[in-house]
Amino acid sequence: MSEITRRGAVGLGLGIGLGAAAAGLAGCGTGNDEARPPAGPGRNPDGGAHSGRMAAPQLIGDGSTAYTGRQPKQPTAPVPLEPGQTPPQFVIFSWDGAGEVGKGLFPRFLELAANHGAHMTFFLSGLYLLPESKKRLYDPPNNPVGASDVGYLTDAHLKETLKYTRQAWLDGHEIGTHFNGHFCAGSGSVANWTPAQWRSEIEQARSFVKTWRTNTGWHEDDPLPFDYDKELIGSRTPCLLGQDNLLPTARELGWRYDASSPGGVQRWPEKRQGLWDLPLQGIPFPGHKFEVLSMDYNILANQSKNSTRGPSDNYAAWRQQATESYLAGFNRTYETNRAPFFIGNHFEDWNGGIYMDAVEAALKEIAGKKDVRLVSFRQFVDWLDAQDPNVLDRLRSLEVGEAPKGGWSQFLGDVVGAPAGATGSTA
């Protein structure tokens, strides 16, 4: 059962101006079995500075994960913008849950990314590496032991998820977290969790990734080729809830960003409590005066209300509307303030798979344009941290859809350097 079916409808036509209501439109990842362009700055289609043979695996713990050297296929090291230089247009495609349940969506988008020089972020749900037979190992805050509002994967689909998670990291993508049980309603909702409860959830999510061999008994299967404690630097919470109490814990763990804010706008980001705050954004929604959050689920909720299987006669028009919405969001920032564009997705075939088609069409249209970089959240915050703080402050002064007066050479031509470490707000 999908998230929208389980929780019921959030009314058709909600715009992001409705704050909490819009926040509630964030969907969950798949978890129930039922339901090469020209090289630009910082891009190296041949694999980047970290390409080459992988080191022999150094197994970690029970061998579920392993250190295999620096991640392959990374862009060249980021450098500060030169005075007056036009900023790149960053576009980040991310995936909540990142479980493969036999629909072929995980490998579909790995292939798409490889064909277009793109990197993405996969927010892996820890429960997707825990067999249902071991579900009582999960003790979710404020919920019964073993409970989850997303389904556990079958063993066959758990194996597929492991396979494509390995491939994703080796292809240069980032593996973040979408935590575990995806609780969005009632007293057990993540919205009510304390910082200590978030720490428990995080420790469990990491543990399920780091001990899947023990929990499944598949000791001969290849390890995940990364140290998850070092790989994990960011997250997206279920339904975009609970960020305020998550952030203190995330900061203590040394995380660098969080992508859970609801109702963000297309402006350059700042920090909250020491982490980069990278929200889903309001983007134009063709045919409407309000904007929609830049995620497949939110577009669905404004098209088919409480159903993931709306009237099939509408699919073609809805697919086109979703595609045009993504492209309108991209074009608005690309042609004006060059703020990064964040798109969230789920491996789901809602409404006949039209949202998967829409995001694929949008990526193909965006890829290869001048100055565009299709990166992961990790790669993006690497770039942010390499910039002059005063340059970032100047970029943040641009409103949604506001082009720099006099062009970029004038707008960024006179920015004075500042001491390192002053970047962004820490409110």
* Tens digit of each residue's pLDDT (9 = 90 or more) over 141-161: 999 999 999 999 999 999 999
DSSP string, 216-233: H--TTSPPBSS-HHHH--
At residue 16, φ and ψ (nearest 5 deg) are: -70, -15
| Higher pLDDT among residues 275 and 30, named by residue | 275
CA distance 386 to 242: 29
Structure tokens, 74:
């990374």
With 70 as the cut, is the pLDDT of residue 37 above it?
Answer: no
Across 13-27, 41-55, 276-290, 334-348, least confident range:
13-27
Tell which residue, 353, 342, 422, has the closest CA to residue 387: 422
Residue 9 has pLDDT above 60, yes or no: no
Give the least confident one: 28-42, 131-145, 323-337, 387-401: 28-42
Beta strands in 289-399 (DSSP E): 291-293, 341-346, 372-374
pLDDT at residue 177 greater than cutoff 60: yes
On the question of pLDDT at 10 being above 90, the answer is no
Poorest-confidence range of 34-38, 50-54, 79-83, 140-144? Answer: 34-38
- Residue 281, sorted as left (phi over 0), alpha (psi -120 to 50) or beta, turns out to be beta
Instruction: Give the lowest-confidence range in 39-43, 112-116, 335-339.
Output: 39-43
Residue 373 covered by a domain? yes
Structure confidence by residue, pLDDT tens digits, 96-133: 999 999 999 999 999 999 999 999 999 999 999 999 99
Q: How far apart, in whole angstroms, are the C-alpha atoms of residue 346 and residue 3?
A: 11
Query: Do 36 and 171 form a contact (C-beta atoms < 8 A)?
Result: no
Pairing of strands 65-67, 282-284: unpaired
Task: Tell me if 168 sits within 8 A of 99, measured CB to CB.
Answer: no
Phi, psi of 95 (to 5 degrees): -130, 120
Q: Which carries the bigger pLDDT value, residue 187 or residue 41?
A: 187
Asked if the model's pLDDT at residue 254 lies above 90, the reply is: yes
Query: Quick check: 341 pLDDT over 90?
Result: yes
Find the length of the chain: 427
Report residue 28's pLDDT band, with 50, 70 and 90 as the boundaries: low
Position 8 pLDDT exceeds 80: no
Q: How far apart are CA 389 and CA 419, in angstroms?
A: 8
Q: How many domains does the chain have?
A: 1
Contacts of 290 (CB under 8 A, 6+ apart): 13, 14, 15, 16, 17
Quick one: pLDDT at residue 7? 34
Q: Which of 290, 375, 370 is nearest to 340 (CA)?
A: 375
Sheet (strand 271-272) strand order: 257-258, 275-277, 271-272
245 domain-assigned: yes
CATH of the domain at 262: 3.20.20.370
Residue 340 maps to a domain: yes
**Assigned domain for 50 exists:** no
The pLDDT value given to residue 417: 63
Q: What's the confidence (pLDDT) of residue 98? A: 98
386 domain residue, yes or no: yes
Structural contact between residues 106 and 160, judged by C-beta atoms closer than 8 angstroms: yes
- Which pLDDT band holds residue 420 (cuts at 50, 70, 90)? very low
Q: Is 225 part of any domain?
A: yes
Instruction: Give the pLDDT of residue 39.
Output: 32
- Per the rule left: phi > 0, alpha: psi between -120 and 50, beta: everything else, 345 is beta
Q: Considering the domain boundaries, does residue 419 fall inside one?
A: no
When the pLDDT of each residue in the chain is averaged and rounded to a whole number, the result is: 89
Can you give the C-alpha Rg of the chain in angstroms?
Answer: 21
Angle at 255 between CA 267 and CA 378, to 5 degrees: 55
Is 172 a residue whose pLDDT tops 60?
yes
State in Å, rounded, how far the first CA of the chain is from the last one.
38
Confidence grade of residue 416 (pLDDT, cut at 50, 70, 90): low
Orientation angle between helical segments 315-334 and 350-366, nearest 10 degrees = 30
Question: What does the pLDDT average to over 344-366?
Answer: 98
What residues does 121 pair with on adjacent strands? 94, 174
Determine the pLDDT at residue 263.
81
For residues 165-194, give the mean pLDDT.
Answer: 98
pLDDT digits over 286-323, tens only?
999 999 999 999 999 999 998 999 999 999 999 999 99
Query: In this structure, is residue 298 part of a structural domain?
Result: yes
Any idea which of 2-6, 175-179, 206-210 has the lowest mean pLDDT?
2-6
Residue with more model confidence, 47 or 66: 66
Enclosing domain of residue 321: 3-43+67-411
- The DSSP output letter for 416 is P
User: Does residue 26 have a pLDDT over 60?
Assistant: no
